[in-house]
Structure 1
């Protein structure tokens, strides 16, 4: 039942399409969204003093940025208290904590350097996903890591990724929840290269060596993420879509698609159905791309909605790993987290409220007129009331901005 005693209208509207809102809310509650930690401190991390590199920039200087792991955990707690449903914590390797331990460079990091994150996650019943950090480091100054012509540089990053697989297995064993490990490299060139094949061949060899170590594939899902360009890497990236999809298929690992990493006319929503036919699993990093850039706060735009529809229509909620990936230092960072993740959940809710079997039947029968009419009618159906009920059941406020304003005044502005 809905909050207002007589307001059954939203439920009845969807019932007229054959949609059971109770079932939908139960499904939505159990969809895990992996929330990226790096929104809270502008991708700074704790292990290196140098600025961002690898074609990455966080612009803006909004007050209250987290500058320690305690502050970052505090801010994540606040954001999670305003986000309904199941969540995972997504960490980069650069968030290793050395507080009472000797510093270890990235090729030497171990599970012990993430013990505090595991303690944090276990207290909150969270799973942890993980990412090797192949940027913002002296061994990545020329934006070449796993594809570098320097064997010493390549080996450093190979060792780093191997350690990250071991740490991912530790996360899974400690939390009891499988860990998604995502490999992304910034490698590329600002100007048109003289050799495209060589760097990709070296990248392939590096990945082969990384994946040669034994690990429990039921606990760790290794993914590979592509990119079309980066700032300072406009002409060529080694880890292109074609490379990453081909490699993932050959090795039986999971392709990861970030919807900000493609050409302007490419849509990730259109790729999902094809990839699900050839891969057991698929991973997504959701963002809002502003050409030519990505990593903006997720909006409830048509592409976000269409991505969610494709997952639900393909009956692939148990096969697609959904994560957020953006960083905005020009606005309140907690608000950016909450707004973006709620928009992902709203998109999933809209997809779940769609009578997809009826729509598919109309398409198969060639009744495109009725198909268009029904799809347009659904755009004004009262999904917002259903989302409000979801928030109520999860004991999360509908108006979260007031709480964020208070937190900003009492916590962020005192830092």
Structure 2
């Protein structure tokens, strides 16, 4: 369960007991197949026609489903076919992603589509970053919500995050430890606040909106300034008793001569992170400042040294992917890495390296997928924590009131 700013109660629908699982199943079926007829929802969920009717009526009243006009072609026999679809007209999930250099604010609809996104820089001090978030949110919502009702705030970042307590336990690159994100922001926004690691949040997004195989078993690998992973089976992301599942930053690439801040040599994050990549590009005179966009443009401009640098890094990423495939053997592995989003022709090097090093993956191009969310991955990740909660428990919307956010945050707790 995620940490909430308030403990939502689950009311029952008049005349029958609470059936949150059935409501979630119906919502999931419409998400997967909509626009879709009620009869097909019944087949997908195994629910009786009466149960489907009750659940759809309830979900329509919540603004989660809607009926579309019947098709223009007349039905062959029986009652008219009235399609059901996800209702994206009323609710939005608000998201915040905390990266090393900047904060991404986003609004995401119930189908995971990014409606608005803004980036602002930060200076890295935890208390001040939380103040920035609380101060920026009201204006961001006023500019972009357009009357839609925010159903929650998702806050995600790299490092080790405890969703139960809503705390960033450790973010090595930012130097943060035990930062009480939920406590600080719940009092400011009056919304339920969901806090998680960005790799786990992206895994949730893939389960909701990505390849259907992801619901059976999935590994998500995030390669940015932070390198981390998430593991999911049966549609549930594993966190571990210490919220440490997916920590791959210090897996060893023993033959890579790079020293990690932890004191060891060859750690994955030290070898393949964006920081390592752009620093090397500056050192070798490929770009004037450590900026990934500039390096990508150098490749597009025909710089052979820049292309070789990216290809060599992708081969290292391919070795990491092969390790994860052999350890976990998932149905699908999804990776989020920005150079391949803009230079997809480089994926051939990644697939070649996976094939050379994995003992179980015989078809890398089928098993290993680039994130479907592309440049909007960080924006989707933040909203996905909220969307996951709503799709798992649709009636959690009942206690959320459309109360305006209060500007002028006062951050509780301290970061050390």
Q: TM-score, normalised by structure 1?
A: 0.34
Q: TM-score, normalised by structure 2?
A: 0.34
Structure with the higher strand share, 1 or 2: 2
